Amino acid sequence: MVEIEIGYEGDLHTTCRHGPSGRVIETDAPVDNQGRGESYSPTDLLATALGTCMMTVMAITARRQGWKIEGARARVEKHMVADPLRRVGRLVLRFHMPPGLVPEARPVLEQAARTCPVKQSVHPDIEIDLGFDWG
């Protein structure tokens, strides 16, 4: 169990403290939803959580196999929809993997990304467009 403390600071800002580490992040509502967009929005954190979870699970898998993926990068695009309710409608993820990985690493790492815990937790109505560039 992990505890995260969240405090509302006013003006659509929150401060979030990670219990185990004490690290703090802040959120702000986006400009298109009455905020100033000065930090991650809650839905930005959802998109970030998916990308970082996929990357982390791929790294765990790579470590077990002795594959090096240092230098891997990802880009996540978050697309909102408003009908019938405002929500994340689509997430586009593009992973740029370092050159030199053995060909057999590709399907294993792609499967690791597709089965990460955040991906398994995201509502099925959110379209996830996942792609890989293998250097």
Domain boundaries, given as residue ranges, for the chain: 4-33, 42-133
Model pLDDT, residue 4 = 98
Residue 4 or 83, more confident: 4
pLDDT of residue 1: 97
Residues in CB range of 13: below 8 A, 6 or more apart: 26, 27, 28, 38, 39
> Does pTM surpass 0.85?
yes
pLDDT cut 90: percent of the chain above it: 98
**Mean pLDDT of the region 22-30:** 97
User: What pLDDT, on the 0 to 100 scale, is given for residue 53?
Assistant: 98
Q: What is the pLDDT of residue 135?
A: 85
Separation of alpha carbons 4 and 90, rounded Å: 26
Does the pLDDT of residue 37 top 90, yes or no? yes
Question: What is the pLDDT confidence band of residue 83, given thresholds at 50, 70 and 90?
Answer: confident
Evaluate whether 95 touches 132 at the Cβ level (below 8 Å).
Answer: yes
CATH class of this structure's domain 42-133: alpha beta
Closest CA relative to residue 35, chosen from 7, 6, 14: 14
